[in-house]
Structure 1
Amino acid sequence: MRYPDEGGLTGVQRAQRERVRFQAAEMFAAGLKPPQVARALRVSRKSAYAWHAGWREAGMDALRSKGPSGVASRMQPSWRAWLAGALDEGPAAHGWVEDQRWTLARISVLVARRFHVRFSRPQLSRILREMGFSVQVPVHRAAERDEKQVARWREETWARVERR
């Protein structure tokens, strides 16, 4: 089993990996050797040998997930709920009236004003993705754009040019 390119695992992925390790422990208890377990579970031999050594020393507890790696985020669940509501209100409700777009810089200022904590832009972007928000680039169109003329051009002019 390979780790994703981006690094960390979700809770579901960690649970799946733990189930695989527990399967390996059952196979070790049944008398199978690490190379046989590796083949059966489609994992590396190195992992199977490491699991076997841990299982021999400490049993199933050695194969339990140790939880997410890294430092826990300072962004608390209650803060996330507040931030989601604030983003739904729009930038104008928080003092940005020149345009109605949320940027990472603006969201960072919003969070800093409310919670007195600064997050880097990449970290804030990750938090927003975890919350279900996605990057959206606004479509820039001329104010003078006439949709009827555009449709007519596509049907008539573009159709002639495309035939050539």
Structure 2
Amino acid sequence: MRYAQGGGLTAERRQFRERIRFEAGERFARGERNAVIAKELRVSERSVERWRRAWREGGRAALASAGPPKLPKLSDDRFAELEQELARGPAEHGWEDQRWTLARIRALILWRFDLDVSPAAVWRLLHRHGWSWQSPARRAMERDEHAVELWKKDVWPRAE
């Protein structure tokens, strides 16, 4: 992974970098050379050249941050709707078994929101909202959850 957050910069880090570009813009206006600006701001000369070109074409506004590179395609409200659909289970949506896969969630997003996203985008969306990959344990149909809980409570402590 490129960044600790799983992708992109934090808002604070984007602001920090924007301040450096604005400082460079002030120095461009004073006529300072790229090499001097790069050395004092501790950035590459190539970045300073790119910023100077943007500054010439669009002024100070061209040095402003463009914001996060990828905004989520589903808003928090729409993701809440997606979670409700996921809670209903795959069988409710026409699949034979009870496994959600990225391909199935992608299809659900396409059907429900008319939005075509890649499997990687589905994974990023789920991960961003705290979902994780899970492999369900196979359990017998005859399993009695109440009896298991009683056993854990009464028998297991004595076995230790």
TM category (shorter chain) comes to 0.5 to 0.7
Sequence identity, in percent? 36
User: Which whole-Å CA distance do the structure 2 matches of 1:46 and 1:82 have between them?
Assistant: 46
2:134 paired residue among 131, 134, 137: 137
CA contact (8 A) 1:112 1:118 kept: yes
User: CA separation of 1:119/1:20 partners in 2, compared to 1, >3 Å: closer, same or farther?
Assistant: same
Question: Is residue 18 from structure 1 mapped to residue 18 from structure 2 by the alignment?
Answer: yes
Q: Map 1:27-38; keep pairs closer than 5 Å.
A: 27-29=27-29, 32-38=32-38
- Please tell me the residue identity of whatever aligns with 1:47: S
Residue 42 of structure 1 and its aligned partner are, at CA, apart by: 1.9
- Please tell me the residue identity of whatever aligns with 1:111: I
User: CA separation of 1:27/1:10 partners in 2, compared to 1, >3 Å: closer, same or farther?
Assistant: same
Give unpaired runs (5+ residues) of structure 1: 156-164
User: CA separation of 1:129/1:142 partners in 2, compared to 1, >3 Å: closer, same or farther?
Assistant: closer
Root-mean-square deviation (Å):
4.2
Give unpaired runs (5+ residues) of structure 2: 141-151
User: CA separation of 1:103/1:63 partners in 2, compared to 1, >3 Å: closer, same or farther?
Assistant: same
Q: How many residues align?
A: 146
The residue that corresponds to 1:43 in the other structure is: 43
- Please tell me the residue identity of whatever aligns with 2:122: L
User: Which whole-Å CA distance do the structure 2 matches of 1:86 and 1:141 have between them?
Assistant: 23
The residue that corresponds to 1:103 in the other structure is: 101
TM-score (norm 1): 0.59
Secondary structure of 2:117's counterpart equals coil
User: CA separation of 1:85/1:38 partners in 2, compared to 1, >3 Å: closer, same or farther?
Assistant: farther
